[in-house]
Chains A and B, each alone.
Chain A
Amino acid sequence: MELRAERLRLAYDARVVVDGLDLEIPTGAVTVIVGPNACGKTTLLRALGRLVTPKAGTVHLDGRAIHSMPTREVARRLGILPQAPVAPDGLAVIDLVTRGRSPHQNWWRQWSTGDELSVLGALRATSMLEHASRPVDELSGGQRQRAWIAMALAQETPILLLDEPTTYLDLAHQIEVLDLVVDLNRQQQRTVVMVLHDLNHASRYADHLVAMKAGRIAAQGPPAEVMTAELVQDVFGLRCQVVTDPASGTPLVIPYGRHHAADAPSLAG
C-alpha cells in the first residue's frame, strides 16, 4: 500500500499554501511532518487523506489518484484522524470505536465477528476496554485521545494519518500516545504519517522526518541527518543547539531565546 504526492498544489481560494510538492511516504514506517505554524503541514496531511482537493497535482494511493476513488473505498485503505475531533454529547467509547468500522459495514450487518474482533482489539491496544461504556465527553484528555485513536484503529487500514495526536495532552500522555503509535507500526506493520509540533518527539519517534517551510519540503530523511541546528535556524528562524538525547540517542533540540542563554555559544553570530 503506497502513498505518494506528485507536484501537489494546495490552496484555500486564492491563498496558495503548498505549491509543486513531491513526497513519497515510506511504506511500513513512521513518517513525521514538522514545520512552523502555517507552513502547510496540516493541509498537506489533509490532502494525503483526500480531505483537501488539490488545485493541481495528484495524490496516489496504490498507484491510483486518491481524489477520483470512491471515498468509501479509500476509507478501507487509509484512516485519518483530524486535529482535536469532537464527539457528540453522551456518545459511549465503544459506540465511537464501532463507528470506525463503518467503511466495512452496511445497514444490515453492523456487528459482524470481524467488527467485534476489530473493535475489541482496538480497545485493548489503547487500554480503553475498561472505559468502553463511558461517554467520551466524561473522559480525561489522554483517554479521549486514545478513544479516537481506537476508532481509527478499528478502521483496520494499512495507512494511518494523524494530525497532532498529542495536542492538549500533558507530557506523560503525549509519550503514551506516541508509544502506542510505534506499537501499531511495529506490531501491525501499519504505515503512519503524523504531524507533530514538538521537534524532540518528532526526532525520537520518526523513522522518516519531513521538515516543511512555506509550503515546501526543506529537508527529509532519517531524523539524525535532518534535525540539525542549521535546519532549525532555516525552517523556524530559531537559534538552537542540537545534542544527542541521552534517553534515545536521537537528536535533541535545545533552543536559545533572548533570555536565559548565558552559555550560548557565538551569540553574536
Chain B
Amino acid sequence: MRAPGVQQVAGRTTYRLARPSVSGVLRVRALVVGLVAAALALVTLSVSVSIGDYPVPLPDVVRALAGSGDPGTLLIVRELRLPRAVVALLVGAGLGMSGAILLALTRNPLASPDILGIAQGASAAVVAGVVLGFGSSLGTSGIALLGGLAAAAAIYLLAWRRGTTGYRIVLVGVAIAALCLAVTQYLLVRAQIFEAQRAVLWLIGSLDGRDWAHATPLAIALAVLVPTALATMRWLTLLGLGDDTARGLGVPVQTARLLLLLIGVGLAAFATAAAGPVGFVALLSPHIARRLAGVAGPPLLGSALVGSVIVLVSDVTARLLPGGQLPVGVVTAALGAPFLLILLARANRAGTGG
C-alpha cells in the first residue's frame, strides 16, 4: 500500500489523492503534447486574425480580443476576421475528434468520416439542394448535416448491425462515398452554370466569408458533443480490446457503439456543414496525435487540438501564398500528409511499428 501522491509504478506515473478519492495514470508526454498543441492553436488563431489587406499587429490583435482598441481595429478583428479563425479552430477540432472516435470504434486506421462517405453524403445533399432548389429554409448547413447523417445511417444499417467491424465497414463506407460522389457529379453536369458554380464553391471546402452565423451552430454542437465524447471515452478505450472483451469488462457494447457513432458522425457533419468537406483532417489528426503523444489509442482531445492546428495553419498558409486564395482543403492535405509520412517513417526506423 502506497501513500497518496504521485508515484512511479512499473514505468507509469500515477497520482492518488486521499480525499476526495481521485486517482489515475498521468501521461506526461500526452499532456505536454496537448498543451503545446493548444498554445500553437492560440498563436495561429492570432496570426490568422492579424493578416490580411489591412494587417493588424499581433499585440493589437491580443488587445482587441480582450476588448480594447480603436473602433476600426475592433471591427476588423472581432467582426470580420475572428469568425473565420474561430470556424477554422472549431472545424479542425470537430474533424479531429470525429476521426479519433471513428478510428477507435472501427479499429481500422482508414475509417475516417471522409473515407466513410459522411462528407460525401453532406456534399451530395448540398449540391442536390442547390441544383434541384429544395431545402433553402434549412440553409446549407442544415442540408449538409442531414446528408452526412443519412450516409452514416446507411453505413450503420448495411455494415454494422451485426457488430461487424474492420474491413467491412470501410468497404461499405467507400461504396457509399462513391455513390454520393456519382450523385454529386451527375447533378453538377445537369445543373445550370450559375447553380453549378455556387455548388462547387461549397464543395471545395473553404473558410472564405465565414461569419458568426457559421461559427455559432458549430460552437453549440461542439459544446454538447465534445463533453459527451469525453464522458464516454472509457467505453471507447475498452472497445479497442474487441467487442467480447469490452462486454466482459462491463461495457454495454451496443449502446456504447451507437452513441459513439452518433457523436463521431455528428462532429464531422457539423464541421462539414460549416466549412464544406475539408479533406484529410479527420484522417490525419488522430494518427498524428497518437504518435506524438505516444499512447496506444487515438487521444480524443489531442486529436481535436491537432485538427485545429492543421486547419488554422493551412488557412494561414493558403492566405499567405502568392497567386490568389487557395481553398483550405488543398493545403490541409499538402501539409498534413507529408507530416504523417515522416512520423510513419520514423516509427518504422525505430522498430515500433505503424
Which residues of A come within 8 Å of B, CB atoms? 46, 49-51, 71-76, 79-82, 85-92, 94-96, 98-100, 102-103, 105, 107-113, 115-117, 120, 123, 129, 132-133, 135, 137, 155
Assess whether B247 is interfacial by the CB under 8 Å rule: yes
Tier of interface size on chain B: 35 or more
B241 interface residue (CB < 8 Å to A): yes
- Residues of B participating in the A interface, judged by any CB pair closer than 8 Å: 1-2, 9-12, 14-16, 20-25, 107, 231, 234, 237-238, 240-242, 244-245, 247-252, 294-297, 352-354
A96 and B11 alpha carbons, distance in the complex (Å) = 14
CB < 8 Å neighbour of B10 from A71, A102, A132:
A132
**A144 CB, nearest partner CB in chain B, Å:** 13
Minimum Cβ distance to chain B for residue A4 (Å):
19
Q: Are A109 and B249 in contact (CB under 8 A)?
A: no
On chain A, the residues within 8 Å of B241 by CB distance are 85-88, 96, 99
The 3 closest A-B pairs by CB, nearest first: A75-B250, A133-B11, A72-B250
Q: How far is the CB of A48 from chain B (nearest CB, A)?
A: 12
Indicate if the CB atoms of B354 and A112 lie closer than 8 Å.
no
Residues of B with C-beta under 8 A to A91: 240, 296-297
Report whether B250 and A74 are in contact in the complex, using a CB–CB cutoff of 8 Å: yes
Question: Does the CB pair B9–A116 fall under 8 Å?
Answer: yes
4 new A-B contacts, CB < 8 A, other than A95-B296, A111-B15, are A50-B247, A107-B234, A108-B22, A155-B249
The smallest beta-carbon distance between A119 and chain B, in angstroms, is 8
Q: Which of the residues A49, A94, A96, A111 comes within 8 Å of B23, measured between beta carbons? A: A111
Is the Cβ of B297 less than 8 Å from the Cβ of A88?
A: yes
Chain B binding surface, main DSSP class: loop
| B252: nearest chain-A partner, CB-CB | A71
| Residue in B closest to A130 when the chains form the complex, CB atoms | B10
Which of A46, A92, A132 meets B296, CB within 8 Å? A92
Is B10's CB under 8 angstroms from A120's CB? yes
Residue of B nearest to A74 (CB): B250
Assembled-state Cα–Cα distance A105/B245 (Å) = 16
Q: Are B251 and A111 in contact (CB under 8 A)?
A: no
Which partner residue on chain A sits nearest B295 by CB separation? Answer: A90
Closest residue of B by beta carbon distance from A131: B10
Contact B10 A129 (CB under 8 A): yes
Q: Is the CB of B250 within 8 A of A92?
A: no
A112 touching B10, Cβ below 8 Å: no
Q: Of the candidates B9, B248, B296, B297, which one forms a contact with A75 in the assembled complex, judged by CB atoms under 8 Å apart? A: B248
Question: Known interface pairs A90-B353, A99-B237. Does A107 touch B231 (Cβ–Cβ under 8 Å)?
Answer: yes
The distance in angstroms between the C-alpha atoms of A96 and B240, with both chains bound, is: 11
Residues of B within 8 A of A88 (CB): 107, 240-241, 296-297
Question: Please, which residue of chain A has its CB at the minimum distance from the CB of B291?
Answer: A90
Q: How far, in Å, is A96 (CB) from chain B's closest CB?
A: 8
12 contacts between A and B (CB under 8 A): A49-B248, A71-B251, A86-B242, A87-B241, A90-B352, A103-B250, A107-B231, A109-B21, A116-B2, A133-B12, A135-B352, A155-B249
In the bound assembly, the distance between CA atoms of A29 and B9 in angstroms comes to: 34
* Distance between B101 CB and nearest chain A CB, rounded to angstroms: 14
CB contacts (< 8 Å) of A50 on chain B: these are: 247
The answer on a CB contact under 8 Å between A92 and B107 is no
Q: Do A102 and B242 have beta carbons less than 8 Å apart?
A: no
Kindly list chain B residues whose C-beta atoms are within 8 Å of the C-beta of A71. 247, 250-252
- A237 to B267: give the CA distance in the assembly, Å: 57
CA distance A33 to B295 in the complex (A): 38
**Could you tell me the distance in whole angstroms from the C-beta of A146 to the nearest C-beta in chain B?**
15
Contact indicator B249/A117 (Cβ below 8 Å): no
CA distance A98 to B143 in the complex (A): 44
A111→B249 contact, CB < 8 A: no
A78 CB → nearest B CB, Å: 8
- Whether A76 contacts B250 by the Cβ 8 Å rule is yes
Closest-by-CB residue of A relative to B20 is A108
Shortest Cβ gap from A106 to chain B (Å):
9
| Interface pair A94/B2, CB less than 8 Å apart | no
A90 vs B22: C-alpha distance when bound (angstroms): 27
Contact A99-B249, Cβ < 8 Å, known A92-B296, A107-B234, A133-B11:
yes
Q: When chains A and B are docked, how far (Å) is the Cα of A82 from the Cα of B2?
A: 33
Q: How far is the CA of A105 from the CA of B238 in the complex (A)?
A: 13
Q: Which residues of A contact B352 (CB under 8 A)?
A: 90, 135
Instruction: Tell me, in angstroms, the Cα distance from A46 to B251 when the chains sit together.
Output: 16
**Given A82-B244, A92-B11, A113-B1, also A103-B16 (CB < 8 A):** no
Residues in chain A near residue B24, CB distance under 8 A:
108-111
Residues of chain A lying within 8 A (CB to CB) of residue B20: 108
**A155 CA to B241 CA in the complex, in Å?**
15
Which residues of B lie under 8 Å from residue A120 when comparing CB positions? 9-10
Given the complex, which residues of A lie within 8 Å of B248, measured CB to CB?
49, 51, 75, 79-82
Give the Cβ gap from A152 to chain B, nearest Cβ, in Å: 8
Q: Within 8 Å CB of A112, what residues of B?
A: 16, 21, 23
Contact B238 A102 (CB under 8 A): yes
Once the chains bind, are A115 and B244 in contact (CB under 8 Å)?
no
Q: Are A98 and B1 in contact (CB under 8 A)?
A: no
**Which of B9, B247, B250, B354 has the most C-beta atoms of chain A within 10 angstroms of its own C-beta?**
B250
